[in-house]
Amino acid sequence: MRNILTILRKEFRSSFDHPTAYIVLGVFLLLWEFLFFQRVFLVGEASLRLLFDVLPWLLIFVVPGLTMGSIAQEKADGTLELLLTHPLKDRELILGKFLASLAFLALAFLFMIPIGLSLASFGSVDWGVVAGQYLGSLCLAAVLVALGVFISSLLSSPVASLLVSAAAGFLLVIAGSEIVTAGLPAVLGHILEQLSVTSHFQSMARGVIDLRDVWYVLCAVTVFLSLAYLQLRKRKFGNNRSVYRKYQLKISAFVCLAVIVAILGNYVPIRIDLTQSRLYTITATTKKILGNLTGPVTLTLYASDQLPAQLQPVLRDIADTLRDYASYGGGNIIVIRKNPAKDQSVAQEAVMQGVEQAQFNVVGQGNFQVQTGFLGITAAYGDQSEVIPFVQSTADLEYQLTSIIRKLTVTEKKTVRFLTGHGEKTPQEYGALHAELGKQYVVQPLTIDSKNPAVPDETAALVIAGPTTEINAKTRTAVKTYLDGGGSAFFLIDTLSVDLSTLSGTGSSHSFADFLLDYGVSVHTDAVYDVRSNETVNFSGGGGANRFMSFLLPYPFWALVQPFSSSSPVTSRIGSVMLPWTGTISLDDETLTSAGLRATNLLMTTRFAGRMTGAFNLAPQQDFPAVGLTSLLVAVSLSGDASDDMSSAALSGTRMVVVGNSNFLTDQFMQQSPENLAFGMGAVSWLAHDDSIASIQLKQNVERKLVFGNDTQIALVKFGNMVFALIVLLGIGLYRFLRRRHLRQLTYGSIV
């Protein structure tokens, strides 16, 4: 170990004693950060994901530059034999060279921390994902460095080593991509996907450290360094065939053992979830639901073996999730996997069950090709069955599976009713929400009339979604009686009526907002705009020649609002909600106290929001007042529960959720912001006192938006990080230069 550390220190220090290292590192960092900042502000996501998307392609060129001289330069200079005459073993030399190059790259990767810190000042960065990205980068670099050291040991020319290492690294990066696997047999395509370093790097970059990825990295590094060691042994014992043959057999056996370990490692699905919200870990609620099953549930995965490369990681995650379900199901979860591509009867069975045969565009043979395949799941319990037609992503797979299992196994379901008869939105107008609610609840419309003069007592939650006509006194009395008796209601109030043809608005006199005044809640007739946190909308060009054109514009009236607190089960699973043309909410503390209610803020705009009143011009291209901007309340919950712990399933009493808009839960806006569904489901679940379902994390790709106060802040983040990297490099270089010059001026006597 002492010799290895000596080589490491010698190589690492020498790297910073020459200007080449600073040039290579400076160019790498500037190019890396430049490519990142070119896109991150367009996406507006507080994440370093885009930074690591380009990393494999940059390392293809950077790593060969670091490793080309590790062994080849020693050969070219004739110093390899001199070096090995010291009490230094071949393997110690190789490990020292390998660790020195890896330490150099580890230092370069640390420059991602200032970038993350600067973005965290303007958004919520998931540092667990960042940790996974850094570890994944180290593993990616380790494999490419080991490959470079091996190729350097093969050749005597550093330039040749550079070119061959770049080509070999390129092949290792693209091995599992669809441009390579398209048209190949499924087995060969799967093998290439497993051999590709990119797939394992991308898995870690999600924030999940999977033992299978770690095994791959360890085995790949072991194989390449062992082959490099064999080359040095050949140089020493090449003429002595009997001795060299023994080394060949030993190294071959060692390499085979490493490959076998890597293959066996694929069957050990142990992973550590580093993400902040534990996105890839089965929740305690799901474990409880699975543990309480009284009969067997059969989960059948229909997966074709010929799937595009981008779906292979999804398939692996699906298999892992199903394995977890079987483990926590205590024998009541039966998992079956079928391949429709190999058996036509299985394909017909999948189609009859509702599994989609999807078509994919893949790149192959220089053009786009169409490929078909199945990737769906069915759940069967007794004579009932449900289906997930196609699994595009595993982000919300746990939620889908658990809700389906609960739908199949729970015999007595609570009832959620939608008030109708006054122009309200029906359950059918909330297509996606209606479908999700149907998995846990009985969803019914409710009309208050002479036949039904009251809200039924068994109503778990009453939804009042944007009434547009007058609600009569009889209905008001029925709703009030229901609430005062401990009922729960979801008020979606539209105080603003929007004319889409002219993008103008008028106040609504029949919004039912006046009903909430008795409970201390005022929903105002105004329009919220947020100049920094909003949705980008596609607008048509209007009249004239521009009528055939469309433009993407930020639309402040479609505000992206954030949860006020993560402690409420209604908002604990979301990052933002998109509210179009919403009104503001204010609270009367005195009325709330007299009514025995406790209010909790749910959704707030950023501090760059304002409100428009009077004449409502809702066009995107206008001057939005920048004076008096502040954070505005747009959603609130009310509770008459005795306990302050809103997440307790034992609570009872009146509950209300009030939002100043009813359109955000329609399918149109669900497509713009999938997290709207998470908010709607969380609200209904909390209102229905069904916190077990609300606590299941709907694992959407939470949007962590960047919110800047002005363009100057954007420029500071962008150029500040790039200048910081240059200043640090120049500082290290200047320090090393001055220190070396000082040492050269010392004499033997002054040292003594």
DSSP states of 22-68: HHHHHHHHHHHHHHHHHHHHHHTBS-SHHHHHSHHHHHHHHHHHHHT
The reply to whether 65 falls in a domain is yes
For residue 341, the model assigns a pLDDT of 83
> How many CB atoms neighbour CB 311 within 10 A?
21
Q: What is the pLDDT of residue 480?
A: 93
Q: Are 102 and 138 in contact (CB under 8 A)?
A: yes
508 half-sphere exposure, CB direction, 13 A CA radius: 29
Residue 354 DSSP label: T
- Confidence band of 626 (pLDDT split at 50, 70, 90): confident
Quick one: pLDDT at residue 561?
A: 93
- 480 with 523, same domain? yes
Consecutive H or E run containing 98 = helix 90-109
pLDDT at residue number 237: 65
Q: What is the DSSP string of 175-231?
A: TTSHHHHTTS-HHHHHHHHHH-HHHHHHHHHTTEEEHHHHHHHHHHHHHHHHHHHHH
Task: Compute the average pLDDT of residues 624-648.
Answer: 76
Residues 52-75 have a mean pLDDT of 87
Report field, pTM of the whole predicted structure over 0.85: no
**By mean pLDDT, which of 144-153, 638-647, 668-677 is the weakest?**
638-647
pLDDT at 348 over 70: yes
Residue 23 tokens, joined: 């040039």
Mean pLDDT for 316-321 is: 87
Least confident segment among 145-154, 370-379, 484-493, 582-591: 370-379
Eight-class DSSP state of 700: -
306 pLDDT higher than 80:
no
Question: What is the C-alpha to C-alpha distance for residues 266 and 479, in angstroms, rounded to an integer?
Answer: 58
Is 57 among the domain residues?
A: yes
Q: Which of 30-44, 258-272, 657-671 has the lowest mean pLDDT?
A: 258-272
Q: What is the rounded CA–CA span in Å between residue 173 and residue 186?
A: 19
Q: How many helices (H) and strands (E) does the chain have?
A: 27, 24
- Average pLDDT across the chain, whole number: 84
Radius of gyration of the chain (CA): 31
Mark whether 512 and 474 lie in a shared domain: yes
Whether the Cβ atoms of residue 653 and residue 642 lie closer than 8 Å to each other: yes
- Angle CA(385)–CA(386)–CA(392) in degrees, nearest 5? 150
pLDDT at 536: 84
The predicted-structure confidence for 471-502, as pLDDT tens digits, reads as follows 999 999 999 999 988 899 999 999 999 988 88
**Among the listed residues 629, 624, 626, the one whose alpha carbon sits nearest the alpha carbon of residue 553:** 624
Place of tokens 């040039």: 23
pLDDT at 380 exceeding the cut of 90 = yes
Q: Please check whether residue 260 lies inside any domain of the structure.
A: no
How far apart, in whole angstroms, are the C-alpha atoms of residue 169 and residue 319?
Answer: 30
Using DSSP, state whether 280 is helix, strand or coil: coil
- Given a cut of 70, whether residue 384 has pLDDT beyond it is yes
For the segment 110-131, the average pLDDT, to the nearest whole number, is 89
Residue ending a domain, choose from 645, 678, 694? 694
As a whole number, mean pLDDT of residues 442-471 equals: 93
Structure confidence at residue 361 as a pLDDT band (50, 70, 90): low
Evaluate if residue 649 carries a pLDDT over 60. Answer: no
Asked if 570 and 669 touch (Cβ cutoff 8 Å), the reply is no
Buried b (16+ CB within 10 A) or exposed e, 131-155: ebbbbbbbbbbbbbbbbbbbbbbeb
Residue 118 has what pLDDT? Answer: 92
User: Does position 133 have pLDDT exceeding 90, yes or no?
Assistant: yes
Q: Could you report the per-residue pLDDT of 682-738, keeping only the tens digit for each?
A: 899 899 987 656 566 555 445 577 777 778 888 899 899 999 988 998 888 888 778
pLDDT of residue 155: 86
- pLDDT computed for residue 693 by the predictor: 65
| Model pLDDT, residue 702 | 55
Quick check: is 542 in a domain? yes
Q: What is the pLDDT of residue 18?
A: 76
Q: Do 356 and 419 fall within a single domain? A: no
Same-domain check for residues 384 and 424: no
Residue range 86-96, pLDDT digits in tens = 667 778 888 98
Structural domain count of the chain: 3
Is residue 716 a contact partner of residue 493, using CB atoms and an 8 Å limit?
A: no
Would you say residue 240 lies in a domain? no
Q: Do residues 687 and 655 make contact, with C-beta atoms less than 8 angstroms apart?
A: yes
Q: What is the pLDDT of residue 648?
A: 36
60 lies in some domain: yes
Structural domain includes residue 255: no
Range in 131-135, 366-370, 378-382, 647-651 with the lowest mean pLDDT: 647-651
Domain boundary among 176, 207, 238: 207
Residue 490, classified by CB atoms within 10 Å of its CB into exposed (0-12), middle (13-18) or buried (19+), is buried
Segment 558-582 mean pLDDT: 86
DSSP 483-524: HHTT-EEEEE---EEEETTTTEEEE-S-SSGGGGGGGTEEE-
Q: Do 646 and 685 meet the contact criterion of CB atoms below 8 Å apart? A: no
- Reported as a single tens digit per residue, the pLDDT across 173-186 is 988 776 776 666 76
Q: Please give the structure tokens belonging to residue 313.
A: 């990681």
Mean pLDDT on 641-666: 70
- Rounded CA separation 247/243 (Å): 7
What does the block give as tokens for 393?
Answer: 């992503």
Same domain, 417 and 380: no
Please state which of the ranges 71-75, 219-223, 270-274 shows the lowest mean pLDDT. Answer: 71-75
Pair 684, 437: CB distance under 8 Å: yes
How far is the C-alpha of 419 from the C-alpha of 20, rounded, in Å?
Answer: 73
170 pLDDT band, cuts 50/70/90, is very high
Claim to verify: residue 289 and residue 383 sit in the same structural domain: yes
Question: Within 276-353, where are the H helices?
Answer: 284-291, 312-328, 344-353
64 and 169 Cβ atoms separated by less than 8 Å: yes
Residue 6 to residue 86: CA distance in whole angstroms: 12
Task: Give the domain CATH number at 318.
Answer: 3.40.30.10
Alpha-carbon span 691 to 285, nearest angstrom: 10
Q: Are residues 347 and 439 in the same domain?
A: no
pLDDT in tens, 212-250: 888 889 889 998 998 888 888 777 665 667 777 777 788
Say which residue, 433 or 243, is predicted with more confidence. 433
Instruction: Go through the chain and tell me how many residues it has.
Output: 752
Q: Which pLDDT tens digit goes with each residue over 522-554?
A: 999 999 999 988 888 887 665 544 554 567 788
Per the structure, the complete domain to which residue 310 belongs is given by: 284-388
The pLDDT tens digits of the residues spanning 182-213 come to 666 767 777 777 788 988 898 898 888 888 88
Among candidate residues 207, 237, 262, the one where a domain is terminated: 207
| Residue 578, domain CATH | 3.40.50.880
Q: What percent of the chain has pLDDT over 70?
A: 88
Dist. CA 424–CA 479, nearest whole Å = 15
The whole-number pLDDT of residue 83 equals: 63
Q: How large a percentage of the chain has pLDDT more than 90?
A: 37
With cut-offs at 50, 70 and 90, classify the pLDDT of residue 644: very low
174 and 46 in one domain?
Answer: yes
Residue 357 three-state SS: strand
Q: Which of 151, 9, 1, 184 is nearest to 68 (CA)?
A: 151
Structure-token pair, residue 346: 């299985």
Beta bridge partners of 442: 415
Structure tokens at 78: 């004739």
Residue 583 belongs to some domain of the structure = yes
Give yes or no: residues 179 and 43 share one domain: yes
Residues 351, 421 share a domain: no
pLDDT of residue 684: 93
Pair (545, 420) in one structural domain: yes
One domain for residues 451 and 578 = yes
How far, in Å, are 140, 210, 221 from residue 271 at the CA level? 18, 4, 21
